[in-house]
Structure 1
Amino acid sequence: MEMLGKIRRMYFRDKLSLHQIAKRTGLSRNTIRKWVRAPEA
């Protein structure tokens, strides 16, 4: 869950692209896209 929060913060607050987040985290763009689009729990 910590990674999910970090990714959402990078995308929404820091305005990083999916590609930039993928490079920083080592995760695929598809995974990041899925997590960003998922409703917050």
Structure 2
Amino acid sequence: MIDVATLSVIRRWALREQLSIREIARRTGLSRNTIKKYLRAEAAEPRYAKRVSPSKLDPYAEKLSAWLKSEASRSRK
């Protein structure tokens, strides 16, 4: 699935600038079948970038990794 920005560019090139499907495929790097599919679809489900949220453990990440490294070298018994 392509993102919303690419979809809007494809539709603008096809409808406003009257570019051929082959030229749009050449410019975007997508296949002609993909271009046709998104031009035929009336509404495409948008795909947004995943939101990056900080973890509660981020301030303690170094200390935790140090503990894990030290425990990995110890015997299990």
TM over 0.5: yes
Name the Cα RMSD after superposition: 1.0
Unaligned runs of 5+ in 1: none
Which residue in 2 is equivalent to 1:9?
12
The ranges of structure 1 where at least 4 consecutive aligned residues each deviate by more than 2 angstroms after the TM superposition are: none
Equivalent residue letter for 1:26: G
Of 22, 27, 32, the residue aligned with 1:24 is: 27
CA distance in 1, matches of 2:7, 2:13: 10
Identity of aligned residues (%): 54
Shift of 1:40: 3.1
Please give the TM-score of this superposition, normalised by the length of structure 1: 0.92
Shift of 1:11: 0.2
Equivalent residue letter for 1:17: S
More helix by share: 1
Please give the TM-score of this superposition, normalised by the length of structure 2: 0.51
